[in-house]
Amino acid sequence: MKRFAKLGVLAACAALAACSILENDRIDYKSASKGATLEVPPDLTQLARDSRYQVPGGPVTASSYQVGQAAPGVPTAANTVGDVRIERAGDKRWLVVNRPADQLWGPVRDFWQENGFLLAMDQANLGIMETDWAENRAKIPQDFIRSTLGKLLDSVYSTAERDRFRTRFERTPGGGTEIFISHRGMVEVYSNTQKDQTVWQPRPADPELETEFLRRLMVKLGVPQEQSKALVAAGAVKPIARVASVDSKPVVQIDEGFDRAWRRVGLALDRTGFTVEDRDRSQGTYFVRYVPPNPDKKEPGFLGKLLNFGRGDKTEAPLKYRIAVRSQGESTTVSVLDAQGAPEASANAQRIVQVIADDLK
């Protein structure tokens, strides 16, 4: 009952905290994981990754990882301070750092821990680092009781939102590294009219949070505070992405070339929670796992998930697909292939295409 009482108090105070978090630089994360971690939505799965992360420009191999092979890229909008550059396409930004990935892994790990996160995934061989679910304590309203008693009752307060961030590393032709940060969010809502039960539901990815953490990472890597703010403010034309049908197959059409489309599709897959098992940039292919949504299944609340922890996953088995990125000049088509590489026109393919298109917009 204490949990529900907290939700009621927070709902009543929400209007007092309506100002933008980023405008006031109010970010204060604290890990929410003390036992089982918050699970992903039912239609998106997160399974063990067991393959090497792709070195751009060739198939995934340990040898190519070591030599740092890559395909040339064309920046959309770039600004540089020292050996750190930020690039942008639409609302998606990433860093290009003129240092090898193995020199950046430790500082980036320290960066997330310094910002209040624990790491749920820390695998340099995959080039992926992912935080656990954490809450932004700065979103808790500063009401009279809390401001008076301070940290004495701080543990009683919590928010109804959780965030996690994935950092992905890819090598550049000159031996540097591209760093991508993607956000995923969950929100706790009442599941009945009596307001005595809650469930966790996904909420849209927040590009502003991604940008803010990229900016903070720039500072961690040596860019002065004021210059980092100026760099992320640089604008760019937002490329158009739309859903279409080619040979009766659903596709996403993007008005940009392969290099930028490849990066944006990778970020979209990270943001929306697909399990990217492998990627082959030379073939323009992401290998993903996907769990179809089950509208008849009622997801348990956070407490129910904790009680069921360790009893086995009873969700539907994930399906394997390939996301194909094919370009001709400054036009790119993104399509869904089955596990054998044949074009897909199923309802699942249509859902996947729509998810990718919605994020690219």
Which residues is 333 bridged to in the sheet?
253, 326
Confirm if 169 and 178 have CB atoms less than 8 A apart: yes
Contacts of 309 (CB under 8 A, 6+ apart): 35, 36
Distances 310 to 160, 304, 306, 313, 325 between C-alpha atoms, Å: 24, 12, 9, 8, 38
Tell me the C-alpha distance between 77 and 356, whole Å: 22
Confirm if 254 and 331 have CB atoms less than 8 A apart: yes
Confidence (pTM) = 0.57
User: Digits of tens for pLDDT over the chain (361 positions)?
Assistant: 444 444 444 444 443 333 433 444 567 777 765 544 444 444 444 444 433 333 333 333 333 333 333 334 444 445 677 899 888 876 788 999 999 999 999 999 999 999 989 999 998 888 899 999 988 866 655 554 445 444 544 444 466 788 999 999 998 888 899 999 999 998 888 888 888 788 888 888 888 899 999 999 999 999 998 888 888 876 555 567 889 888 889 999 998 889 888 988 988 888 887 888 888 888 999 999 887 766 555 555 544 444 443 444 445 678 899 999 999 888 899 999 999 999 999 988 999 999 898 888 7
Q: What is the pLDDT of residue 33?
A: 58
Tell me the C-alpha distance between 294 and 30, whole Å: 32
How many Cα atoms are found within 13 Å in the side-chain-facing hemisphere of 201? 9
Contacts of 55 (CB under 8 A, 6+ apart): 61, 64, 65, 68, 69, 70, 170, 171, 281
Structure token pair of residue 42? 């039912």
Distances 146 to 79, 150, 156, 177 between C-alpha atoms, Å: 42, 5, 10, 44
Q: What is the pLDDT of residue 14?
A: 40
